[in-house]
Amino acid sequence: MVEWRLQLNGALALYKGGAPFRLRTHQQALLLARLAAHSHGIDRGETALLLWPEAGRANALAYLRRATMELRRVGLPVEADRERLWLDETLISTDLDVADQARVLKDIEHPIAHEIRGMVIRRSYGSQQAKPADQSTIVRSQSEAILAVIAETLIREHPEVALDLLNRHGLDLVLTSSLEPLLDILLRALAASDRLTVNRVGVTRLAGWVAILLTRYSLAERLLTQAEEGCRVLKEDGLRARLLGMLAFLNMERRDWPAALRLALRAIEAADVSDDADAIAAVHNNAAGIQWHLLQFDEAAKNYAIAYDAATVWGQRHSVLGNATLIWGLYGVPVHKTFEPTDFRDTAVGAAVGSEGIGQVGYGIGTGNAYYAALGCRRLLKHGGQGLERYFCVALDLAAVTFARFGHPYEAAACVRICSRYRYRVGHARSPAEKLSIRRHVRTPLFGKEVAAIVEEIDSSDAAICAARVVRRIDARFGPALDSGT
């Protein structure tokens, strides 16, 4: 008789002999869920970094060993070798075979939950392919299945064409697609052809970026390193510099500040000898972002100036302006150039929403203009609430500063409290500069009945719901400014 049953459809729950069984930590439950989803086992290193992304590889592996030991101690059938972990499926059952992709791991926003949902979506593609072809109604999920078949056929029969299309249109796909299925397609395309080309390097870079967004940092590092090595062989110096910059960004997201700064400076060296203006703009912008997080404001301002002058397209200048305006507004740092109201474009999409939003917040805080500060916060909250929890953390902290700057201290303190919890959950500790910003602007005690009441009103484990509630609070507090547009 199977003693253990793991429920993934709906709320994550574990049962022993039919009775609910509670594991000691959330990470143990997610580890068990990932083991259940991968019948052939899971990689130790990748899993450790998914569960404890900020701990560093050695500490994360130690935590994984302890979690595995505790699961075994209560009788769960976890098997292991030096590289992998797996479950003895004769001793535990799951409901994954009948899982509904809309309900899998309900209310859990974590890379492992996103990964398992993506697996359910891909499986649904396969099951729909087996259905009779004469169905009279084609629902959206069936249309997606047809597109998936087309993609698979193109990758299998014309891999070089697939790589070319993905390289040329990758950014559009990132802005419009679900990231887990997109990453799966990118990896399949890379596996279909081993010929080293610029397109292959470009798709590898894109896959690395998507892996960063999904916080699959071990995979991202592997992909970006492969792409950087390919650039060396192909002598694509500008692209290599950008990849070094992306590796720097990856380490910043991991909060490995020494590695991030070291790679950022290497990227600048590579770009400055490449004679590639766009690469120069990208890596100086990236380095400046790392530097100001480390309170190196003068160095950051210099690099933003270099990036702005080197940029050849509006999107790059827009990104630099947004970042520079933020540090000017929050910290009073003199910078080369900041956003002006005429620079804002309400039609911005994708990454431009982020740069425009932080620019609006910086401009509003720096000039005392509640309209732009509130407008920027609204945009960032809506953008970050769409499954990008680390960006949502940034948006919450900026909302806290905005509330505090314009006389709403209890809302500010509530946002700080909620953001601290989210940051702990996703392993995204505040940088030295982010801590300084909170200390400088939010001086209301974080506890007290007024703050607790607001936290209870707007908090939610679902980032999208929480974002919508904070936006409503912004609308309530800043309605007159938003209505007047000034």
Q: Is the pLDDT of residue 221 over 60?
A: yes
Per-residue pLDDT at 171 exceeds 90: no
One-letter amino acid at 306 equals I
Q: pLDDT by residue (tens digit) across 113-124?
A: 877 877 776 565
- Alpha-helical regions (H) of 332-429: 351-367, 370-384, 389-405, 409-426
Q: What is the rounded distance in angstroms from the CA atom of residue 324 to the CA atom of residue 13?
A: 46
DSSP sequence for 267-291: HHHHHHTTT-HHHHHHHHHHHHHHH
Residue 317: per-residue pLDDT? 86
pLDDT-based confidence at 180, cuts 50/70/90? confident
Contact predicate 174/209, CB 8 Å: yes
pLDDT of 446 reads 76
**Whether pLDDT at 207 is above 90:** yes
pLDDT band at 345; cut points 50, 70, 90: low
pLDDT exceeds 80 at position 53: no
Please give the average per-residue pLDDT across 427-441, as a whole number: 91
Query: Residue 143: pLDDT above 70?
Result: no
| The predicted structure's pLDDT at residue 142 | 55
451 pLDDT exceeds 70?
A: yes
Q: How confident is the model at residue 301 (pLDDT cuts 50, 70, 90)?
A: very high
Assess whether pLDDT exceeds 60 at residue 347. no
Give the H or E element holding residue 92: strand 92-94
CB 259: neighbour CB atoms within 10 A?
15
- Whole-angstrom distance, CA of residue 331 vs CA of residue 465: 30
In this prediction, residue 137 has a pLDDT band, given cuts at 50, 70 and 90, of: very low
**How confident is the prediction for the chain on average, in pLDDT?**
84
CA atoms within 13 A on the CB side of 114: 22
Q: Which pLDDT does position 385 carry in this prediction? A: 61
Choose from 77-86, 185-194, 300-309 the range with maximum mean pLDDT. Answer: 300-309
pLDDT of residue 134: 41
Domains and CATH numbers, the chain: 4-128 (1.10.10.10), 313-486 (no CATH)
Looking at the chain, the whole-number percentage of residues with pLDDT higher than 90 is 42
Given a cut of 50, whether residue 349 has pLDDT beyond it is no
Q: pLDDT digits over 389-430, tens only?
A: 778 899 999 999 999 999 999 999 999 999 998 888 777 889
pLDDT per residue over 88-107, tens digit each? 877 888 887 765 655 778 77
Q: Is the pLDDT of residue 263 over 80?
A: yes
Could you tell me the pLDDT band of residue 135, with boundaries at 50, 70 and 90? very low
Q: Which residue has the tokens 């909060």?
A: 255
pLDDT higher than threshold 60 for residue 54:
yes
pTM above 0.85, yes or no: no
Query: Is the model's pLDDT at 386 over the cut of 70?
Result: no
Tell me what pLDDT residue 484 has: 60
Asked if residues 54 and 63 have their Cβ atoms less than 8 Å apart, the reply is no
Contact 399, 406 (CB under 8 A): no
**What's the confidence (pLDDT) of residue 448?**
83
CB neighbours (10 Å) of residue 146? Answer: 13
pLDDT given for residue 11 in this prediction = 85
Residue appearing with tokens 């630099």: 320
C-alpha 304/C-alpha 195 separation (Å) is 37
